[in-house]
Structure 1
Amino acid sequence: MAASAHVDDGLWNEFHTVVNMTSRELREWLNVQAAGERTEEVPDRAGPPTGRRVLEILGKRRTDLTEDDVRAMEHVCEIVRSQRGPSLEPKAGGADWRHGLMNIGHDPLKPA
């Protein structure tokens, strides 16, 4: 089992700001995205790896996070920051853009 990692307040707060979907909303989204006409992913494997990782992190206490979790949190924050900027005001864009962000727990149409 991996040792727990220190997560500074800045990263903790930013992650929980940019990941504006609840774990339930994200899980349902990933399951819907993974369902095809002929196939459906096993729920634990539905969606892209980063989205599943976000779900795992949302299910953990801060004291239980690992170094890998911290790196994943930083990665998600970087992705959202690079595509949204600092304001995170609700913003419409193309469906692929929105869905890509939703795959990691950020709905750009959801009010801050």
Structure 2
Amino acid sequence: MTKSTEGVDDVWNDFHSAVNMTATQIEKWLDTDESKDVGQKSSEGAESVGHHSGRKIVAILHKKKADLSHADIEWMRKVVGYVKRHSAQRPDGDIENTPWRYSLMNWGNDPLKK
């Protein structure tokens, strides 16, 4: 097993735990103004990092584990790390309509979802 495919089962499981939205739910979310308004952008009007990530996550969710590329596996690791870090920064109070939640949803995680 090469370095690039090492721990694929763990990454696969961690990714599918972190991403608790379906590909369809993410696609629908990415079409909203709220999704497009949050996140870090390289320039005014550019797509945010999280919104771009959401599109990549949708593509990965449509793949079988055996069809993952090295780049997919690396992106899955990045998603898991982001969701863990960002989740730890949960603000106090009602989070339903917050940029914090919207950012996580761009990365495939809805913190209100059971």
Check whether TM > 0.5: yes
**RMSD between aligned residues:** 2.5
Gaps of 5+ in 1: 37-44, 86-90
What is the percentage of aligned positions where both structures have the same residue?
Answer: 35
Distance 2:14 2:101 in 1: 19
1:22-41 CA distance string (max 9 Å, x none): 111001000123689xxxxx
Partner of 2:43: none
Contact in 1 for aligned 2:26/2:105 (Cα 8 Å): yes
Give me the TM-score of the superposition, normalised by structure 2: 0.71
Letter in 1 for 2:18: V
Q: How many residues matched? A: 93
Distance 1:69 1:100 in 2: 20
1:75 to 71, 74, 78: 78
Gaps of 5+ in 2: 38-46
Give me the TM-score of the superposition, normalised by structure 1: 0.72
Partner of 1:10: 10
